[in-house]
Structure 1
Amino acid sequence: MSHTAHIPSHRKPRRSSSKLALRAGVAGGVLSTIAVAASPAQAEPVTETIEMPTLTNVDLSGALSSAVAASAEATQQDALVQDLRAQEDAAAGKAAKDAKTAKEQAERKAEAERKAKEAEEKARAEARERASRTAERTTLSASSNSGDSDGGSSSSSDSGSSRSTATGSAAAIVDFARAQIGDAYVMGATGPNAWDCSGLVQAAYRQAGIDLPRVSGAQSSMGTSVSLSDLQPGDILYWGSRSGSYHVAIYVGGGNFVGAQNPGTGVVERSLDYDAPSGAVRIL
């Protein structure tokens, strides 16, 4: 007997083939059952049908007609709005034009009234001036007649000289200047019926064959300076500085001068006391 005969074996006993087959069959059945339970149930086919509405030619025509009508109405409404706006714009433009015309007419009327008033005032001033000249001439004539009756004589070299003492070129200058009394004053005018101050002096000296500059400043710079107490007919009086005078006139004797004064008086004869000059020059 072997010495290992009583030692049990460590190997597991082999299972029989029948038991293995049985266990395999049971496992297969269980898995089949689980697979069938897990698979979704097959949906039944849908047999119900849904009926859709049928669009007929009548329905389409009606919808189209409604759409066309709505579009036409909208177009007409828009046209009415545009026409209304055009009328409003035209009315506003006409109102503005009428207002502008009315304003222009009012301004023209006001301007015409202003000019008429100025003309009336000028006519009154000229009438007063003519009356004053007449009175002065009457006084001078009376004084002259009185001097002649007394046998008196006047000097030609002092400020009391009269026109009767002017001779030659001086007489021509004085006579021309006095002949323009009553003419209008117009800035820049040189005759024959309207003058400014230097235009009258220039034209008067032209009668004596003497050409003077056109403006007062240049005229007062000519010749030699003389005192206002030693004036002779034909001397040029000036206002302002000699080389920058703003007004000139002609001494005519008798303490008077003739000049184109301003638009209100025109050409007048005035006493030296009326507007004392700044100085005088002698060209003759």
Structure 2
Amino acid sequence: MSLTAHIPSHRKPRRSASKLAVRAGVAGGVLSTLAMAGTASATPSAEPAHETTLEMPVLNMDLAAEVSSSVAKAAENTRAAAVDGELNALEESARTGAAAEAKKAKEDAQQKADAEQKAKEEADRKAESERANRSSARASLSAKSASAPSEGSSSQGSGTVSAPATGSAAAIVNFARAQVGKAYVTGGTGPSSFDCSGLVQAAYRQAGISLPRMSQAQSSAGTSVSLNALQPGDILYWGAKGSAYHVAVYVGGGKFVGAQNSSTGIVERSLSYDKPTGAVRVL
């Protein structure tokens, strides 16, 4: 064993280098702080520290103009789109309205055509009925004429009287002939248009004679005369006496003047054109 083995060492233990460095840094920092404080207190007249400000960026004017232009363009596009939408709506409404009007016009035209066709058919039917009635009346008259002598045949002889009209008869005949060429209108009593009984009534009014308005009553006025013994001014009728459907004025010479229908108007015709059923004399 060594002689120095139990002699204690009086040297302090070594500190690590890292701890020494930390302590040295701390000490240096403290001393530096104290030095700065002292310097600051020793120079009170030092200039104050200036405040630092940040400069804000300035908006580029070209950029602002471009933004404004874009906004304006967007607004214009929106307005144009709205206008286009409104125009499209108006065009659609116009098309719809035009289609509805065209459909209604077509329906109205069809209804009018149907009504005209119906009226024509009714007129044709009525004319055919009148022709049939006249044919029946003629057949009946022929049968009566064959079975019995005509009234007044013994004194008047055969054929019609063709002597010129005089007095009241002349007034009636002249008026009737003056109306030839005027229109036939149902219910017409003159002066520009007549129906059959309206013409006869107006003609007799020239002689101061008042006749009933309707052909049925006119056919039973006065005294019945034979068609072979007619005189100017006699009233001719078609159909049964008292229910005749047509009348006219005998004007002499085997002719009559009558308001026939809407197609012919007032005409002067021979008795053979449409032979009457009978006649009455009011004068």
Give the TM-score normalised by the residue count of structure 2: 0.49
Give the TM-score normalised by the residue count of structure 1: 0.49
